[in-house]
């Protein structure tokens, strides 16, 4: 494995950052998770657009232009010869001191890791997963806008702990008003009748790249799909439910808080979007090596 660190390709054993890097000390930075399918990087431009928007929102000057960053990502994929894999692209505030002041960090750090990922065991994509509602709430958009994909994921980690202790694979996070925001690392969709519904960023959902792909696939298929304010009642009474995310792809949900979703098996629309997304991801774009 070769890892990109500030323009250099380093082995896993030598890829290091300073203990004074503010990404480590304070979670001060932004990141993107990106997939490689069939030697193609899935929607790299969309991921970079979100990365640079997140950086601007926290007043972080990315040291590479978007075209340079795109080439750095492609280079790292080529160097690792990945047919299928996962890219973790991070930009931290950089090395400073033990104070919070970002002015003490003269240059951000850029790290690109290309590796394998399996968020859920393969059999669960056919069987579906159990989900619980976490008592850990999404941070209010009045504090930190959920569209910022920052390195500070503590709330998500705590919600994931809640899921594990409840014997579930994932957890739903509510916002301060009790509406569904998202899951710990995935967006959420419910099917009611023939309509697909998903929380909006205004309710705390990340504006996910896979989420966007699902919405586009729905439009192409003539399936009504829209953002909506959702509560636990909506997921408890849904005909189908599934999650979407870069790591998770499209994952069926068959139980929420001990309540069976629909028939208790992945539904027809969920299966349809699983297949459509898989086909799209493996064919979109040109191979990078």
Residue located via tokens 């080529």: 78
Average pLDDT, whole number, for the chain? Answer: 96
Q: Residue 238's pLDDT is what?
A: 98
Residues 131 and 106 occupy one common structural domain: no
The CATH number assigned to the domain holding 181 equals 3.20.10.10
Mean pLDDT of 58-73: 98
In a domain, 289, yes or no: no
pLDDT score of 41 more than 90? yes
Q: Return the closest-CA partner of residue 43 out of 253, 208, 222.
A: 208
In this structure, the answer to whether residues 78 and 140 fall within a common structural domain is no
Q: Are 40 and 141 in a shared domain?
A: no
Give a yes or no: residue 194 inside a domain. Answer: yes
Residue 241 domain-assigned (yes or no): yes
Task: Determine the pLDDT at residue 214.
Answer: 98
In whole angstroms, give the CA distance from residue 225 to residue 283: 23
- Asked if the model's pLDDT at residue 141 lies above 90, the reply is no
Q: What is the pLDDT of residues 160-209, one digit of tens each?
A: 999 999 999 999 999 999 999 999 999 999 999 999 999 999 999 999 99
Q: Is residue 288 in some structural domain?
A: no
Asked which of 97, 115, 133 is the last residue of a domain, the reply is 115
**What are the Cα distances from residue 121, in Å, to 171, 235, 249, 266, 267?**
17, 23, 12, 16, 19
Q: Which of 73, 92, 115 is the last residue of a domain?
A: 115
pLDDT at 146: 86
> For the residues 224-231, what does the mean pLDDT come to?
97
Clarify whether residues 199 and 103 are in a common domain. Answer: no
Beta-strand pair 224-227/187-192:
unpaired
CATH of the domain at 68: 3.30.470.10
21, part of any domain: yes
In a domain, 33, yes or no: yes
Q: Are residues 128 and 228 in the same domain?
A: yes
- Residues 101 and 208 placed together within one structural domain of the fold: no
Whether 72 and 181 map to the same domain: the answer is: no
Residue 205 lies in a domain: yes
Could you give the residue ranges of the DSSP H alpha helices within the chain? 22-26, 44-57, 66-80, 124-127, 154-165, 209-221, 232-236, 268-283
Do 45 and 88 share a domain, yes or no?
A: yes
In percent, how much of the chain has pLDDT > 90? 96
Q: Is the same domain home to 111 and 137?
A: no
CB atoms within 10 A of CB 278: 14
Tokens 């298929």 belong to residue: 221
Same domain, 134 and 110: no
Whether residue 91 sits in one domain with residue 56: yes
| 140 pLDDT more than 90 | no
Domain boundary among 96, 115, 134: 115
Q: How many domains does the chain have?
A: 2
Give the pLDDT score at 142: 79
Residue range of the domain that includes 34: 2-115
Domain assignment of residue 130, yes or no = yes
pLDDT attached to residue 285? 87
* Residues known to be catalytic: 149
Distance, CA of 267 to CA of 250 (rounded, Å): 12
> pLDDT (tens digit, 9 = 90+) per residue, 83-117?
999 999 999 999 999 999 999 999 999 999 999 99
Q: First CA to last CA across the chain, in angstroms?
A: 16
Mark whether 108 and 131 lie in a shared domain: no
């Amino acid at each position: 494995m070769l890892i990109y660190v500030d323009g250099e390709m380093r082995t896993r054993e030598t890829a290091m950052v300073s203990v004074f890097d503010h990404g480590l000390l304070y979670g001060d930075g932004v990141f993107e998770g990106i997939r490689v399918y069939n030697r193609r990087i899935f929607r790299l431009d969309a991921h970079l657009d979100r990365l640079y928007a997140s950086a601007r929102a926290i007043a972080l000057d990315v040291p590479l232009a978007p075209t340079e960053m795109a080439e750095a990502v492609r280079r790292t994929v080529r160097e690792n010869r990945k047919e299928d894999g996962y890219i973790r692209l991070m930009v931290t505030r950089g090395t400073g001191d033990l104070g919070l002041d970002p002015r003490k960090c003269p240059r951000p750090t850029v790290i690109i890791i290309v590796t394998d990922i399996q968020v859920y065991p393969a059999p669960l994509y056919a069987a579906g997963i159990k989900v619980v509602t976490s008592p850990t709430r999404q941070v209010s958009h009045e504090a930190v806008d959920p569209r910022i994909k920052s390195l500070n994921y503590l709330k998500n980690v705590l919600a994931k702990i809640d899921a594990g202790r409840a014997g579930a694979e994932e957890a739903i996070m509510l916002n301060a008003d009790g509406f569904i925001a998202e899951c710990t690392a995935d967006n959420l969709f419910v099917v009611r009748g023939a309509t697909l519904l998903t929380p909006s960023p205004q309710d705390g959902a990340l504006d996910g790249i896979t989420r966007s792909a699902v919405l586009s696939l729905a439009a192409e298929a003539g399936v009504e799909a829209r953002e909506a304010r959702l509560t636990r009642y909506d997921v408890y009474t849904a005909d189908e439910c599934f999650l979407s995310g870069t790591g998770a792809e499209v994952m069926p949900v068959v139980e929420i808080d001990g309540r069976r979703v629909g028939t208790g098996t992945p539904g027809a629309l969920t299966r349809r979007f699983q297949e459509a997304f898989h086909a799209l991801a493996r064919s979109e774009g040109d191979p990078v090596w």
